[in-house]
Amino acid sequence: MATDTSVADVPGTAPLAHEEVHLSDIHYVRVAVFLAVLTGIEVALSYINGLNGLALLVPLLVIMAIKFGTVALYFMHLKWDSKILTRLFYAGVLLAAGVYVIALSTFRLFAGN
C-alpha cells in the first residue's frame, strides 16, 4: 500500500496557493492601474452625449467582462489555482447569466418596442 504518498504526488491535484509563485507586489499594482483605467473609460463613455442604447451598452458590457475576468484571474488567483475552482465559479456565473437572461426574455425585456 502506498503509505508514504504525498498529496502533491496524486495526479490532478493542484499545488497549494501559498506554495505557488504569484505576481510580485508591483505586478498587482499594475493590474490595479489597468482596472482603474478601464473604470475611467467606462465612466467617460457614460458621459458622452448621444451615446445611448446598444452603442453604449455593448462597450460597457465588454469592459465590465474584462474587469470581472481580470479580478478573478489575478486577484482571486484563478490563473494559478486548480481548474476545478475555475469551473466551479464560472459554472455559477454562467448558470446565473443563463437563467436570468431566459427569465428576462419571458418578460419580453429584449423584444424592444
Partner 1 sequence: MTDVDAPRSAPAPGAATGHGQQEAYPEELHATNTGISNEKLAMWVFLGSECLLFGGLISTYVLYKNRHRVGPAPHQLYDIAFTSISSFVLLMSSLTMVLAVAAVTRGDQKRLRTWLLTTALLGSVFISGQVYEFTAFVREGMGFTTNAASSAFYTLTGFHGVHVTIGIIMLLSVFVLSLRGRLPTERAETVEIVGLYWHFVDVVWIVIFTIVYLAK
Report the interface residues with partner 1, using CB under 8 A: 1-10, 12-19, 22, 24-25, 28-29, 31-32, 35-36, 39, 42-43, 45-47, 52, 56-57, 60-61, 63-64, 67-68, 71-72, 74-77, 82, 84-85, 88-89, 91-93, 95-97, 99-100, 103-104, 107, 109
User: Alpha-carbon distance 70 to 109, whole Å?
Assistant: 29
CB 87, min distance to partner 1, A: 9
> What does the angle CA 14 – CA 2 – CA 5 come to, to the nearest 5 degrees?
30
CB 113, min distance to partner 1, A: 11
Kindly list the distances between the CA atom of residue 28 and the CA atoms of 25, 42, 109, in Å, as whole numbers in the listed order. Answer: 5, 21, 39
User: Alpha-carbon distance 103 to 55, whole Å?
Assistant: 24
CB 18, min distance to partner 1, A: 4
